[in-house]
Structure 1
Amino acid sequence: MIDNLAAQPPGADHRSPAYIPGVPRDTAWRAHWIGPHTPDHGPGPAGFGPPDTRGPFGRYLFRTTFTLDAVPEVIPARITADSRYVVHLNGREAGRGPVRSQPRRLAYDTLDLAPLARAGENTLVVLVTYYGKANSFWQPAAANGALGRDAVLVLEADLGDRLLVTDDTWRVLAPGAWHSAEAEGMDGIPVECLDARLLPSDWKSGAPDSDWQKARIVPALHLGSLARSTPPADPYGPLRPRPIGPLGGDTVTPVRIAVSPPAAVPDDPHPVGHVRTYLSTPDLPDPVATSLPLTLTPGTGRAQHVVVDMGRIVCGFVRFDLTAPSGTQVDLMYRETPHAPGANDPFSAPNTGARYIARGHDDGFEACEVNGFRYLHALVTSDGPVTIDAVAVREHLYPRAGAAYFRSSDPELDALYTAGVRTVALTSHDAFVDCPTREQRAWVGDAVVHQMVQLATSTDWRPAWHYLDLANSPRPDGILPMSVVGEIEQGGGTTIPDWSLHWLHGVHNLYRHGGEHERDRLAELAPTARRILAWYLPFRTDDGVLSDLPEWNLVDWSSVFTTGTSSIVTALWARGLREYAEISTLLRNDGEASWARRHWERARKGYEIFWDERRGTYVDHLLSGVQQPPASQIAGAAAIASGLAPAARHHRIIDRIMDPGRLVTRSWIGGEGGYDAEKIHDEMRGVRRIDWDSEEQVVRAQPFLSYLVHDAAALTGRVPELVGALRRWSRFLHDGYDTFGECWGWGTPAHGWSSTPARDLMTYVLGVTPAEPGFGRARVAPAYGVVERAEGAVPTRDGLLHVAFDSSGVEVDSPVPLTLLLPGGQERSYGSGHTRVPFV
């Protein structure tokens, strides 16, 4: 059981359960895939093309027991399931997973069971969820005759004198206590419903009874499978070790609780619909503040409403304890923002929640699904008194590692840094996700901002590289899905092509921060980068720029134009060409580097058609060869960041696109009042109305692609304007919210793609960037004069680089050699260690 150990990767946390001593890393498992007793669908003709049928949503309990004479120091185990598992040893949670992954690249987790084991008999119970239908973070396998059609589990553990494996000695219970209500609107998060009357109160400890059945070994069934039931087996392939560390977080309790008097409420089979029906009742009384424990007396045919305010956006597992008669129904709806009476906007509120039906004794609910929200609305229906004893959320997020920090003499900038870090924390689950509340999807473009914040603020870079591997799942034509692992990737339909170009920028971040140390990973990712760039070639004009691009060329939620001949997408593509050329050079693939540079040079020459000399910037697009008036902030910034704009023009461009007097905020689907249904309808019909002076005004980038605008300002040496622009993010921080929202004035209040201020303060105010790939040398260019004083520590591959500066001098403590920029523009080289430069 302890042979074939793989070496621990550089920079991994030795304390992480992702790396348990003694867990095998070989591909072949001794354990069998096991499942509940569901009907076999059987293979198709000659074992090919079985009908694509699979089981519905279900939660199953798998149980075994084992005896220990004494508890070993370590009980190494590895485990995975389709779709999700939670493992309990002797009634206590030992782990959960796996991380989201494409079915043919399914991950497994490693655990140490020793801390929960005891001498004598031990009971292991695993709750396995099978979603049945794709959702925002899971997609079903391409099943064969047996595997991939229903819940399956595989586990093996080294007990010292013997091996514990999943096989047909295990028992399984299908209690039927859980079901999943359909997710609504744009949400893809399961809405879980639990009838505790159907679930033994001691289910975590797995007390046996007559309902437990013998588990079934589930083999692969197709020609050539030879009925193999141990991994690797189709459709899951070689199971892969967990690529990131464990999730966790604090248990958070409410800051305010209020209750309304009982009222008659029409029933609704959907828990969120039931709460929403109550909240849409005219002339509702305002809830009255109260505290826990709270006793409710809704009465027959009536319901009582409780609203819980967590004080900020939180994300994790909702928990509550209650004392209630059997059959009491508690419906939950999670909201990001306060409910507005009469409002029912599916675009601006998550349609997520849960339902719990009490068994009448030993009651308490802990969600299996991760949800994000600030306000919890509970609607309690019962014939008798109900006491809610406790409410909490156990957060389940990726932990930030190390002692990176930013502090300054400017409290506003310090608050922006903290908010950016918190926003990325809330959107770092088992992958970088857009938001913790509404979708939790792994959008391929959004996550490049999370990645850059992670690199700048945490010493654990594994999530930054996992983002690249997870999203490396191209369609047959080479472009990436707009969101990976879920119903969007499974559907294989329309994508956002430019999201693939942001992923390529993420690969370039790997090149800049990892260099030769990440050579093998870069070599694995480079073919996908090449296919993305080649996808655009058929859309080039004779001038070498891009025109008439299909699918959803989103770019940003701001009102930019990509129709006709597009300067913006051309520039993003050209940036990718330059970055791919640099990566290819490091990989010593000179032919590929030359290919990319040729296409970049051709685009550079053709790009002149977008230049507007009068305004000193580039327009968004041309129609039928004619320049159109709109000239957005993104168009000018992309020209600089891609290198297509001559350096002599950079200051003129920044003057134009960062002039506060010219900037206007516009979006094709929303505005300061929220999502705009009329605008969305117009956008679907191809109707766009310009309601600004497109000759003189400049459309501001939304928070997402502001990262590109800030890159352009920094490349031009205009850090003061960059820092001035950062202050706009302060508008998100009000009324207890401490995260950055999706868009200017609307959207989710915690959206990872808006977190660029945290990166900018580290890279452009402290000024720490790689001077050469792999951080073999750092460049430190502090923003002297922009703030009176600033200090911080920025991660490099070799440790934290500390910077402090004020009007008296600059001080650097670096683990690597560095080039230091001084106030007059002079650059000096220093070795690693401590450097102090006083200003005279």
Structure 2
Amino acid sequence: MNKVNFVKIVDSKSATNIHVLADNALTEKHVFMAETCTVKQGGYVVVDFGKEICGRVHVVFGYNECEGKVRIRLGESVAEACAELGQNNAGNNHSLRDAVYPVVCWSDFSTTESGFRFARIDPVGGADVNITAVYAEEDTNGLTMQGKFNCSDERINDIFDVAARTISLCVREKEIWDGVKRDRVVWIGDFYPELVGAFNLYGVIPQFTRVLDMVSDFDGCWVNRIPSYSAWWLVCLAEYYKLSGDKSYVLQKLPYVYKILCDFDEIVQPDGNICYSQSNNGMFDGNEFFVDWPTHQTADSEIGWRYLLTYALQQTKAFLAELGEPTANIEQTLARLDMYDYKQSTFKQVTALGVLANRIDETTATKLLREGGANGMTAFMSCVIVKALQNLCEGEFALKVIRDYFGAMLDMGATTFWEDFDMEWLADTPSSITALPNSERKNIHADYGKFCYKGLRHSLCHGWSSGFIDFFFGYVLGIVPAAVGYQSVSITPHLCGLDFAEGELPTRYGKIYVRHELSNGVVKSTVRLPDGVILTK
């Protein structure tokens, strides 16, 4: 656990001697000897810790003549820290971030754990309170971040750093959450970008197999009760095998692999149509073809779902063949899926899945994915869209999309990347997450969002948003495993308009160091491989 002091007092009312709150936290003066900040009934203090935190706020009290109470509101934005429950969809969702605590003389306490950057303290017990110190206690995952990336574009470097922090907060000691304020649970579709992102930072970690185990082997339902998440489970297992080379674990999970394959075989009809009537697997209502929230229950959703299933079966077929397992049933299911009359989709995530499944021609896909630049991006599917652009050799455009989309979040005050973001929100010139509520101006957190993340319920630290960093390692640096587990690698630089790029990628053999630099029109590369890793052409 790390102690984090606040960096700024955002706002206050009827509070005196406020400066001592930070001074005392820094000097760790004894509670009896320290000066106190007095916050009168009806007053408040709002502090900014400078960055998103997964943890608690700790408050130390001085001498108080009578028992009182304080209300503490944690917020990923100032607007959230200042909102009443229910206002702009503010709530205690998956974590108790808005609660009242008792105050007694010379006492202290820590709030419950949540994700936040800001905190507001209000006396609510009918008495003034004397506060000695306020600081945050940050829970860490206990891991050392080993993956590094640096390039000639400082904006891209900032984006990488924020993505890395996002992933580091969502990777917990035993599992990987989707968010630290809300969605503090495992969703296996969301886990795919978290898996590839976390590998680039930490290498192979035990959390990967724990997550795969947590959601598997439940009889009578699809993974997470969402059919597409059963497909994502297959993709995640295939990705894990590619990154780790952990053959024994994959062999252990083969019975569940075959169970999922049978589940899909049951619903893909001889004419290629999908029919769930013969399946007894439980699912959440309306999630037959869920892919992403913006496509949910649209006509294009089934197209994207089919592309995803096709890709999942292709990836599964590949690793089963390598393990010497039969694949004929997969080939038959794929053949039936190909009987469907696929129509062109304007949703970028649908097109991107079609590219990964090799079911859309390159010219059509390139045109659709370039249309509107970063417009049409979603946080969840950003990893997939960038990967599709990479496959289409549109790396320079992919880098621009990353710069525009994630850079816009930075401009709105992001220190971690969000559950969702839509470039169209910027048309209203909203205020940032650091701004006090203003009834005459929309706020980027309070007044936007759709589906399950409307308003202040919206998570501003979501692991699924940061899988795109795989592009920096796998395409810009060009480090690609030629054999599972990176026992052999190929390295092909794609600077995408950068003057230089360098980084370190952790593998089970050690860290791979690569630097590419453009000099007089020629890319010069420096490569250092750990013992046991072979460089192939």
User: Does the CA contact (< 8 Å) of 2:7 and 2:48 recur in 1?
Assistant: yes
Partner residue in 2 for 1:744: 421
Cα shift at 1:345: 4.9
Offset from partner CA, 1:272-306 (integer Å, 9 cap, x none): xxxxxxxxxxxxxxx997552543253xxx44322
User: Structure 1 residues 382 and 560, CA, compared in 2 at 3 Å: closer, same or farther?
Assistant: closer
Q: Is 1:349 the equivalent of 2:90?
A: yes
Partner residue in 2 for 1:432: 176
> Quick one: which amino acid aligns to residue 38 of structure 2?
L
Q: Is 1:601 the equivalent of 2:342?
A: no
Cα shift at 1:548: 7.3
Residues 75-224 of structure 1 mapped to structure 2, 5 A cutoff: none
Paired with 1:337 and 1:733, the residues of 2 have a C-alpha distance of 13
Residues 495-574 of structure 1 mapped to structure 2, 5 A cutoff: 495-515=225-245, 518-546=246-274, 551-552=286-287, 553-559=289-295, 563=299, 566-574=302-310
Cα shift at 1:415: 0.9
Query: More displaced, 381-390 or 761-770?
Result: 381-390
Secondary structure (helix, strand or coil) at the match of 1:392 reads: strand
> Quick one: which amino acid aligns to residue 55 of structure 2?
G
User: Structure 1 residues 297 and 404, CA, compared in 2 at 3 Å: closer, same or farther?
Assistant: closer
Paired with 2:358 and 2:300, the residues of 1 have a C-alpha distance of 22
Bigger-Rg structure (1/2): 1
Paired with 1:392 and 1:782, the residues of 2 have a C-alpha distance of 45
Residues 666-745 of structure 1 mapped to structure 2, 5 A cutoff: 700-727=376-403, 728-734=405-411, 736-745=413-422
Secondary structure (helix, strand or coil) at the match of 1:339 reads: helix
Cα shift at 1:400: 4.1
Q: TM-score, normalised by structure 1?
A: 0.52
Paired with 1:446 and 1:561, the residues of 2 have a C-alpha distance of 19
Cα shift at 1:532: 2.6
> Quick one: which amino acid aligns to residue 742 of structure 1?
E
User: Does the CA contact (< 8 Å) of 1:309 and 1:374 recur in 2?
Assistant: yes
Partner residue in 2 for 1:296: 38
Cα shift at 1:799: 0.9
Paired with 2:220 and 2:298, the residues of 1 have a C-alpha distance of 21
Paired with 2:387 and 2:300, the residues of 1 have a C-alpha distance of 26
Paired with 1:798 and 1:463, the residues of 2 have a C-alpha distance of 19
Offset from partner CA, 1:708-743 (integer Å, 9 cap, x none): 122222222221222122111111113643211111
Paired with 1:564 and 1:558, the residues of 2 have a C-alpha distance of 10
> Quick one: which amino acid aligns to residue 384 of structure 2?
L
Partner residue in 1 for 2:342: 610
Paired with 1:374 and 1:399, the residues of 2 have a C-alpha distance of 21
Cα shift at 1:762: 1.5
Q: Is 1:795 the equivalent of 2:506?
A: yes
User: Does the CA contact (< 8 Å) of 1:568 and 1:635 recur in 2?
Assistant: yes
> Quick one: which amino acid aligns to residue 185 of structure 2?
R
Offset from partner CA, 1:140-179 (integer Å, 9 cap, x none): xxxxxxxxxxxxxxxxxxxxxxxxxxxxxxxxxxxxxxxx
Residues 263-412 of structure 1 mapped to structure 2, 5 A cutoff: 290-292=19-21, 294-296=36-38, 298=40, 302-323=41-62, 324-339=64-79, 345=86, 348-351=89-92, 352-361=97-106, 363-367=107-111, 369-381=112-124, 386-412=129-155
Secondary structure (helix, strand or coil) at the match of 1:546 reads: coil
> Quick one: which amino acid aligns to residue 638 of structure 1?
L
Cα shift at 1:310: 1.2
Secondary structure (helix, strand or coil) at the match of 1:317 reads: strand
**Residue of 12, 15, 20 corresponding to 1:259:** 12
Paired with 1:814 and 1:555, the residues of 2 have a C-alpha distance of 38
Paired with 2:276 and 2:525, the residues of 1 have a C-alpha distance of 51
Query: More displaced, 337-346 or 523-532?
Result: 337-346
> Quick one: which amino acid aligns to residue 610 of structure 1?
Y
Secondary structure (helix, strand or coil) at the match of 1:438 reads: coil
**Residue of 344, 349, 371 corresponding to 1:634:** 349
Give unmatched runs, 5+ long, in structure 1.
1-247, 263-286, 482-494, 612-617, 620-630, 665-699, 820-827, 829-840
Cα shift at 1:313: 1.3
Paired with 2:483 and 2:508, the residues of 1 have a C-alpha distance of 12
User: Structure 1 residues 354 and 773, CA, compared in 2 at 3 Å: closer, same or farther?
Assistant: same
Give unmatched runs, 5+ long, in structure 2.
22-34, 278-284, 423-448, 450-457
Secondary structure (helix, strand or coil) at the match of 1:477 reads: coil
Offset from partner CA, 1:419-461 (integer Å, 9 cap, x none): 1110011212232112112341222221221111111111352
User: Does the CA contact (< 8 Å) of 1:416 and 1:757 recur in 2?
Assistant: no
Secondary structure (helix, strand or coil) at the match of 1:330 reads: strand
User: Does the CA contact (< 8 Å) of 1:496 and 1:551 recur in 2?
Assistant: no
Cα shift at 1:373: 0.9
Paired with 1:565 and 1:321, the residues of 2 have a C-alpha distance of 52
User: Structure 1 residues 400 and 783, CA, compared in 2 at 3 Å: closer, same or farther?
Assistant: farther
> Quick one: which amino acid aligns to residue 3 of structure 2?
T
Paired with 2:413 and 2:528, the residues of 1 have a C-alpha distance of 36
Q: Is 1:818 the equivalent of 2:529?
A: no
Residues 618-629 of structure 1 mapped to structure 2, 5 A cutoff: 618-619=344-345
Cα shift at 1:543: 3.4
User: Structure 1 residues 569 and 346, CA, compared in 2 at 3 Å: closer, same or farther?
Assistant: farther
Equivalences, count: 467
> Quick one: which amino acid aligns to residue 418 of structure 1?
D
Partner residue in 1 for 2:431: none
> Quick one: which amino acid aligns to residue 8 of structure 2?
R
Partner residue in 2 for 1:453: 197
Paired with 1:635 and 1:559, the residues of 2 have a C-alpha distance of 8
> Quick one: which amino acid aligns to residue 504 of structure 1?
L
**Residue of 465, 470, 474 corresponding to 1:754:** 465
Paired with 2:390 and 2:518, the residues of 1 have a C-alpha distance of 21
Secondary structure (helix, strand or coil) at the match of 2:135 reads: strand
Cα shift at 1:418: 0.5
Offset from partner CA, 1:112-142 (integer Å, 9 cap, x none): xxxxxxxxxxxxxxxxxxxxxxxxxxxxxxx
Cα shift at 1:651: 3.3
Paired with 1:766 and 1:748, the residues of 2 have a C-alpha distance of 31
> Quick one: which amino acid aligns to residue 274 of structure 2?
L
Partner residue in 1 for 2:436: none
Paired with 2:153 and 2:43, the residues of 1 have a C-alpha distance of 47
Paired with 1:528 and 1:796, the residues of 2 have a C-alpha distance of 27
Cα shift at 1:347: 6.4
Secondary structure (helix, strand or coil) at the match of 1:742 reads: coil
Paired with 1:724 and 1:545, the residues of 2 have a C-alpha distance of 38
Secondary structure (helix, strand or coil) at the match of 1:355 reads: strand
> Quick one: which amino acid aligns to residue 477 of structure 2?
L
What is the root-mean-square deviation in Å for CA atoms of aligned residues? 2.7
Paired with 1:527 and 1:579, the residues of 2 have a C-alpha distance of 17
User: Does the CA contact (< 8 Å) of 1:333 and 1:354 recur in 2?
Assistant: yes
User: Does the CA contact (< 8 Å) of 2:44 and 2:120 recur in 1?
Assistant: yes
User: Does the CA contact (< 8 Å) of 1:522 and 1:583 recur in 2?
Assistant: no
User: Does the CA contact (< 8 Å) of 2:17 and 2:36 recur in 1?
Assistant: no
Secondary structure (helix, strand or coil) at the match of 2:168 reads: helix
User: Does the CA contact (< 8 Å) of 1:336 and 1:374 recur in 2?
Assistant: yes
Paired with 1:632 and 1:313, the residues of 2 have a C-alpha distance of 31
Secondary structure (helix, strand or coil) at the match of 2:233 reads: helix
User: Structure 1 residues 399 and 807, CA, compared in 2 at 3 Å: closer, same or farther?
Assistant: same
Paired with 2:127 and 2:196, the residues of 1 have a C-alpha distance of 53
Offset from partner CA, 1:735-769 (integer Å, 9 cap, x none): 64321111114432211110123222112211212
Cα shift at 1:785: 4.4
Paired with 1:464 and 1:650, the residues of 2 have a C-alpha distance of 33
Identity %: 21
Cα shift at 1:560: 5.4
Q: Is 1:652 the equivalent of 2:364?
A: yes
